Structure 1
Amino acid sequence: MPFMNIKNLLWINLDAQMTIPKALEPWLIDNQSLTHKLKQEFEDFAVNVLSQTQGKAHKNEADLVDTRDDCIIREVELLGNQQVMIFARSIIPITNDTKDLRTIGGKPLGEILFNDGSIVRGEMQITHADNLWGRRSTFTIGQTKLLVSEFFLENLYA
């Protein structure tokens, strides 16, 4: 994320007692597809791919996807009515299980993950620093875990 260092954020399990802004709750703690929810909320939904590169994940990300090898690191903005609502960072290990995900271009990753019944979502963790709130969870495809982190910008819920 261009305006903050996400490498050192502290993440905790969602079930911990935490005061979450009321307007953010329906977004932050929803287990459904964020893409689907944004498409329902905004007439004009778009994905802006900021980068998709091969490299090393941050240690706290690599620990969750069980690899120290290079991964695909995909960073996107999710836009509603041409405003950035969410910044998302995905860590996709390079395996046969993920080969189709590595070529999705501007297609929403969430749409793929939630439309395949064989993909299993792991436990959700949340973080916040100042007014920025985020959540992340793993998704297991075959034998491979990938990580999706989503950061909710204030213009979505304030």
Structure 2
Amino acid sequence: MPHSTAPPDACQWLTQSLLRPLPAPLALNWLFDKGSLTRRLTWLSNDGFSVTPLFEGWQPLREDECVVLGLAPASIGWVREVYLRGHGQPWVFARSVAARSALQGDGLHMDELGSRSLGELLFCDHAFTRQAIEVCHYPRQWLPTADQADGLWGRRSRFDRGPLSVLVAEIFLPSFWHALHDHPENC
């Protein structure tokens, strides 16, 4: 079952220019990095990176997702929720969504990714353009039960390729910040 049971106003997504107060520089670096998170996590984990699918399927999208994708409220979309892991530990909870109408006939088979990284696919296909990164303190109710906590930083951005838009949200779990602070290069 996907994790989307929070009031629609539970999260105010903000770009870096509107974010006040700013998080610590190390958090800011990870939240607004425009490169591939998969590549950075692979580096941080010394190639101990993996993806664990939690949920994949068609369902009504959240109100905030419909707004960003330009869809009518409660539009049906493909939802993919995964853990991005370092050395087997869940470091990031990721939720990716796309409208059913945009996916049909587009050639992006989100339902066939399995344990492969969607982010790597988006960054390898140069036809995708990334829109602005927005961040918020992600609502605990939108997280898997085992990871529900207040104040976790999440970021999202929309990737566009023609009529197809994929909205990707990535929430940094406490185990990620512990691993980052324990890393000798701490970057």
Q: Report the alpha carbon displacement of residue 29 of structure 1 after superposing the two structures with TM.
A: 1.1
Kindly tell me the number of residue pairs found equivalent between the two proteins: 158
Following the alignment from structure 2 to structure 1, what is the Cα–Cα distance between the partners of residues 63 and 162? 23
Q: Which has the higher strand share?
A: 1
CA distance in structure 2 between the partners assigned to 1:62 and 1:39 by the alignment: 31
> How far 1:132 moved relative to its partner?
0.2
Q: Percent identity, aligned pairs only?
A: 29
Residue number among 97, 103, 114 corresponding to 2:106 in the alignment = 97
Please state whether the residue corresponding to 1:53 is helix, strand or coil: strand
Larger Rg: 2
Q: Is the 8 A contact 1:119 1:139 kept in 2?
A: yes
Segments ≥4 residues shifted beyond 3 Å: 4-7
1:126 aligns with 2:135: yes
Alpha-carbon distance in structure 1 between the residues aligned to 2:169 and 2:83: 12
TM-score normalised per structure 1: 0.90
Q: How is 1:1-158 mapped onto 2 (pairs within 5 angstroms)?
A: 5=6, 8-18=10-20, 19-43=22-46, 44-68=48-72, 69-94=75-100, 95=103, 96-97=105-106, 99-128=108-137, 130-158=150-178
Contact 1:131/1:154 (<8 A) preserved: no
1:120 Cα deviation from its structure 2 partner: 0.6
Q: Any unmatched runs of 5+ in structure 1?
A: none
Amino acid paired to 2:106: D
Query: Cα offset for 1:144?
Result: 1.5
Higher percent of residues as helix: 2
- When normalised by structure 2's length, the TM-score is 0.77
